[in-house]
Structure 1
Amino acid sequence: MSTGYALAYRLGITPWERAGEVARAGFEALLEREEAERSRPLGRALDLGCGRGQHTHELAARGWEAVGVDNIPRAVEAARSTGSSGATFVVGDVTQLSEAALGTFDFFLDVGCFHGLDADARREQGAGVTAIARPNATLLMLAFQPTPLPLVPDGVSQADVEAAFPGWQLLSVEPADTSGMPGPLKRTTPHWYRLRKSL
């Protein structure tokens, strides 16, 4: 995880949280699509790079057994102290998921974590997710496209996503709602990637 991410939490600068609130309706529609394909109970969901738990709490409120993992203790402490959704939060490294002993999962959510990693770390995250994914598990990822903009993650291409998850089928790629993002960040043209673990 980038040092800029840790610094942002120390300074209390988290523009991605506001962007998430503005784009909430679109995000909920994506979750509804996931849930429509499943029976109840929905299963276990892991929020990768959960930050202060905005999306983890949402998953738990919708009926998932939700776990959030982040390597910034300050963010995890905040996540634990807000909401009463029943979500669980763990300090851990998304590139070393086996060390966190989290169990297995049916659904993975990555909102802006993967695209901040270098190529080796992306492969490590992909391998870790694959190792704890149950059969037919799905992954929903929001990631910036590659960009030369300063002070933002480098971004990833569709090829980068597929390279990190070789045992997964790419189901869809859709442009994300950028209406809540600061002006320069809109130029990152983020996309939602949806993948399913191959049997």
Structure 2
Amino acid sequence: MPLPFLTADRTFEAADESALPYDDRERWRRPYRPGPWRVGVAALVLLVASFVLFAAVAIALADSVSSAVAVLVTALVVIAAALRMLRMGVWVSGRGLRHVGFLVTRTVPWSRVVSVRTAQQPVRWLGLPRTVQGQALALVRKDRPAEDTPPLLTTHTLDFLSRPAAFDRAADTVEAWAAECGRGHGRG
């Protein structure tokens, strides 16, 4: 069963003449693949969910239906969390840029984007409070100061940890989307 949110479109990785090789630019797409750390953590969470589902079946066979339903709901929450973790990241379309977090999704139309650029700065390591020196893809918006906007991508997230070339490719692609789609809104 194909999982379209798990893979990026292959044409982003191919050296192509245009930065945006799609006819249907209104479809939301992630311009990079989820990193091996993100996929590995999600796989471990799904493994835990399988054990919880097995426990729900065992509890149901022991004639405790209400407890089995509670454990089943717990397993479904764990599965939903693993799938949401796989969806996290930056998504682009002709309409704007979408930053999908674990609990919150923010969408910014291209008309409000001033620029998207890579900067060397302290970044959070794996989303924890500890910061390290790294690169970040920063979004500058018309309606907000740059300090209030968290970075879109960093070199120290689950997607790009120990993969600087993948970060550079993803950052270049998001910047190309911003440059191309931003032109359609009267900016150059």
Task: Report the TM-score, using the length of structure 2 for normalisation.
Answer: 0.23
Task: Report the TM-score, using the length of structure 1 for normalisation.
Answer: 0.22
Larger Rg: 2
